[in-house]
Amino acid sequence: MTAPAITELPVVVIGAGPAGLAAAAHLVDQGIEPLVLEAGPTAGAAVREWSHVRLFSTWGEVVDPAAEKLLAPTGWTRPDPATYPSGGDWADLYLQPLADVLGARVRLGATVTGVSRTGRDRIVDADREQQPFVVHVAHADGREERVFARAVIDASGTWTTPSPAGGSGLPALGEKSAADRITYRVPDLKDPTVRARYAGKRTAVIGAGASAFTALAYLADLAKSGDGAGTKGVWILRRGITGSTFGGGEADQLPARGALGLAAKAAVDEGHADAVTGFRTEAIERDDNGRLILVGEDGRRLDAVDEVVVLTGFRPDLSFLNELRLGLDERLQAPVALAPLIDPNQHSCGTVYPHGHRQLSHPEQGVYLVGMKSYGRAPTFLAMTGYEQVRSVAAAIAGDLASADRVELTLPETGVCGGAGLFDVPDAAQGDGGGCCTPAPQLVQLGAPTATAATAERAPAGGCCDS
């Protein structure tokens, strides 16, 4: 089969999540035909897997302007911009209607298994840039297909590739064999089956970001409920505790994000969770009763727990892009030009500079990683960042470099960066911001299991999104 002329081809967008559907909307706005390939059975499939979790961004911050323009003729109206959607709300009230408007441009149950240049593996130079992209697709019914594209926008996110419990970045010894007691997502404790799994149990929560805060707050609520007596959290931190550990609090310009950290702190202060600091998990063992024992790199063995919730971040799946010439930072696995702007050792969400197609480009011209995937392993991503990314990329693909280069993005400062979170108080106080995290860090003394108590220590200076 001969590939058609490049100008006749669509732009393939991988993923029908918030960034992918926004990319499609911007391409349509530019007069370019998109083809969105979504591995899941519905639009926003990954978002639906955390439908029980409330975002810390408002409706006013999670709807893309081009998408809203595309939806307007259908009579769609944005929910109250000052309110906070859950993941389920976001998927049902925005992502699904947007996919419906795009219609046949969105294909579900279509998993991208490889991307290359037609007739060129990554070694071949000859006429490379004159060849269209070829995208290999595996369909849910077992069919295989190849699709030709003028450009490829990978907005597949990082949801399917969570980071492990192991402190070295590799799974801890025994982590895989203990999979029946480990989850890498915030548990939905409103689900009766899930609730029964954690009620009255001792659960280790590994992580230091918004998702860990959410899990701790959920477990504390369960402990205070009528059916949750005896529920206990054990918060495992790889670093020490400072005032910045709990995020921006009341100083956060995203009040809901600040409330997350305050909820986690309350869980500890009220005795519903203990904290173990400076603990890097090396192994997970079972005791005689099948409970799990976390063993640290320093030899510490924690008291047995019934369940482990690993919330140590995510990482990009680059396997299906292996035949493309990508320029990725060796640490973050983000585009080389973008990495210094999002390095969590230097930046919070609010100090990330505006960026667009130039920072997202690769040696392989015409391919872009956008959305959460563009950030690699950095945890600082917000939806509005992705929307500006895809606007710039769509303009660049259309040849409107003046618009593509005019990148404008203002992000709220301070606090924990990235992910979704728990927030139930819409009128929480709005802080005046200014700093990266909370006021001057202060040592916070937290309880830990007697047999494994560790002295809290100050986290290294430099960033406010420590993990």
pLDDT, tens digit, 9 for 90 and up, residues 327-377: 999 999 999 999 998 887 776 555 667 799 999 999 999 999 999 999 999
What pLDDT, on a 0 to 100 scale, did the predictor assign at position 253?
Answer: 52
**Placement of tokens 């998702």 in the chain:** 211
Q: How far is CA 180 from the centre of its chain?
A: 24
Of the two residues 442 and 251, the one the predictor is more confident about is 251
In the predicted structure, residue 382 carries a pLDDT above the cut 90: no
In the predicted structure, residue 270 carries a pLDDT above the cut 60: yes
Angle, CA of 216, 45 and 168, to the nearest 5°: 50
Is the Cα torsion angle 452, 456, 460, 466 positive or negative in sign? positive
CB 312 within 8 A of CB 167: no
pLDDT of 277-315, one tens digit each? 999 999 999 999 999 999 999 999 999 999 999 999 999
* Run of H or E residues at 14: strand 11-14
**How big, in percent rounded to 5, are the helix, strand and coil portions of the chain?**
30, 15, 50
Average pLDDT over residues 379-398: 92
Residue 205 exposure: Cα atoms within 13 Å on the Cβ side: 31
Cβ-based neighbour number of residue 146 at 10 Å: 14
Cβ-based neighbour number of residue 444 at 10 Å: 18
Q: Which residues fall within 8 angstroms of residue 30, CB to CB, at 6 or more apart? A: 394, 395, 397, 398, 400
Mapped onto helix, strand or coil, the DSSP state of residue 250 is: helix
pLDDT band at 259 (very low <50, low <70, confident <90, very high): confident
Token couple for 228: 């949750």
Is the Cα torsion angle 94, 100, 104, 109 positive or negative in sign? positive
Percent with pLDDT over 90 in the chain:
72
Percent with pLDDT over 70 in the chain:
81
Poorest-pLDDT segment among 82-86, 175-179, 264-268: 264-268
CB 333 within 8 A of CB 315: yes
Nearest residue to 432 via CA among 196, 255, 221 = 255
Could you tell me if residue 119 is left (phi over 0), alpha (psi between -120 and 50 degrees) or otherwise beta?
left
E-strand stretches of 40-184: 106-107, 110-117, 133-139, 144-149, 151-154, 182-183
What pLDDT, on a 0 to 100 scale, did the predictor assign at position 159?
Answer: 95
pLDDT of 218-236, one tens digit each? 999 999 999 999 999 999 9
Token couple for 296: 């640290």
Cβ-based neighbour number of residue 285 at 10 Å: 16
Classify residue 153 by its DSSP letter: E
Mapped onto helix, strand or coil, the DSSP state of residue 358 is: helix
CA dihedral 133, 138, 139, 140 (to 10 degrees): -150
Token couple for 254: 């995203």
Q: Which residues fall within 8 angstroms of residue 193, CB to CB, at 6 or more apart? A: none
Angle 255-269/210-224 helices, nearest 10 degrees? Answer: 50
pLDDT band at 247 (very low <50, low <70, confident <90, very high): low
d(Cα 167, Cα 174) in Å, to the nearest integer? 13
d(Cα 148, Cα 444) in Å, to the nearest integer? 56
Could you tell me if residue 230 is left (phi over 0), alpha (psi between -120 and 50 degrees) or otherwise beta?
left
CB 428 within 8 A of CB 252: no
Could you tell me if residue 450 is left (phi over 0), alpha (psi between -120 and 50 degrees) or otherwise beta?
alpha
pLDDT band at 412 (very low <50, low <70, confident <90, very high): low
Average pLDDT over residues 139-147: 97
Rg (CA), the chain: 23
Is the Cα torsion angle 358, 21, 347, 332 positive or negative in sign? negative
CB 206 within 8 A of CB 282: no
**Placement of tokens 């986690």 in the chain:** 264
Strands 232-236 and 367-369: unpaired
Nearest residue to 276 via CA among 208, 211, 178, 180 = 208
